[in-house]
Amino acid sequence: MTTSPDPAAGGEDAPRVVEQRGLYYDELEEGVVYAHRPGRTVTEADNVLFTTLTMNTQALHLDAAWSAGQPFGQRLVNSMFTLSTMVGQSVAQLTQGTIVAQLGLGDVAFPHPLFHGDTLYTDTVVTEKRLSSSRPGQGIVTMELTGRNQDGVVVGRARRSCLMWLRDAHRAGA
């Protein structure tokens, strides 16, 4: 988060302006659990819209009658919605305005389904950081995201790699 006088309001006597942002490379700590709250309760409309927007015709997401006869007895939330929401929940706290690029996602797993009406909570742990050897003022951060439902059951895991700004380089306009 950055604070500064509001230049539009008249200089140093103006009220401070607080701008929401993620954390810079320099501020991220390995081993720390970043808990992203609030959670996100997933609705039937979320699942159907995401599934149809992405042209995924899987009956497990769309056909209630057919899904009732399958092992879970109901429709499942599209796992790509789960993954996208897990990443999205981390943005405001970790990467908003401080990321250069997402480099990759890996080790993605969905050990338990998410259902309509479940609430998704995501935590992120920074597992590795290193300065970029080819991009001065930037570093590579590897994070492990874990999504849990309202009962604490793990519904998703992913490893995410991002190219992040160092604070001074970003502010200097590098």
The better pLDDT of the pair 8, 41 is held by 41
CA dist., res. 16 & res. 46, Å (int): 38
In the prediction, which pLDDT does 10 show?
A: 58
CA distance 111 to 88: 20
Residues 83-93 have a mean pLDDT of: 97
In this predicted structure, the answer to whether residue 22 has a pLDDT above a threshold of 90 is yes
pLDDT computed for residue 170 by the predictor: 86
The answer to whether the peptide bond before residue 111 is cis (omega within 30 degrees of 0) is no
CA distances from 41 to 17, 48, 150, 168 (A): 31, 14, 9, 38
Note the pLDDT tens digit of each residue in 92-144: 999 999 999 999 999 999 999 999 999 999 999 999 999 999 999 999 999 99
**What is the pLDDT of the chain when averaged over all its residues?**
92
- Is a pLDDT exceeding 60 seen at residue 5? no
Q: Which residue has the higher pLDDT, 53 or 169?
A: 53
